[in-house]
Amino acid sequence: MQLHVKQLFQLVNMNKINFLFVTLFGIGKLKKIPGSYASLLTTIFLFFLFHIINLSPNIVLIGVIIIFFISLYAVNIFIKDLDNKDPKEVVIDEFIGQSIPICLYEISHEGTKETDQVLTFYFIMFILFRIFDITKPYPVSYYDKNFKNSFGVIMDDVCAGLYVVAVLVLYMVINS
């Protein structure tokens, strides 16, 4: 079967689009700590969406859920021919994991908030997410070790994001 030039061009463009998606526009190709850069950029991006543009947190959460499902497919395509099934350049999972606590924080604290309070919570969520993503407490480690596919790549970050949510809920319960 012969590939026509147009089909080859489309294939190359799809691979480039997929690369840009899973590496968060190339952030994953940074030499040092690409996951931390992706998490930081996500935090700044979400602050911009929620507090500059005033986008509804529910809409953003729906977007994150859609990105989650697209990522399952996109990451699978990206890693299919790689020996390392969780390459450091794939950082779309950091975007998803970091987005979970921030979106849920914004949904649960809808309305006007003091900017310094928001920045403090965003900073705490960023730090906690990075700690849980790097140290991989159970079940984060379970997904990381037992699923050598896109599901494992993404779910360990989802679990890390949910750990951040649990810590913040515990903090709010203790302080109420």
- In tens digits, what is the pLDDT along the chain, a chain of 176 residues? 555 655 655 656 788 889 999 999 999 999 999 999 999 999 999 999 999 999 999 999 999 999 999 999 999 999 988 887 778 999 999 999 999 999 999 999 877 789 999 999 999 999 999 999 999 999 888 888 888 888 999 999 999 999 999 999 999 899 87
Q: In whole angstroms, give the CA distance from residue 36 to residue 94.
A: 8
95 close to 42: Cβ distance less than 8 angstroms: yes
- What are the phi and psi torsion angles at 120 (to 5°)? -65, -50
Q: Structural domain tally of the chain?
A: 1
Structural domain containing residue 163: 5-174
Q: In whole angstroms, give the CA distance from residue 142 to residue 136.
A: 9
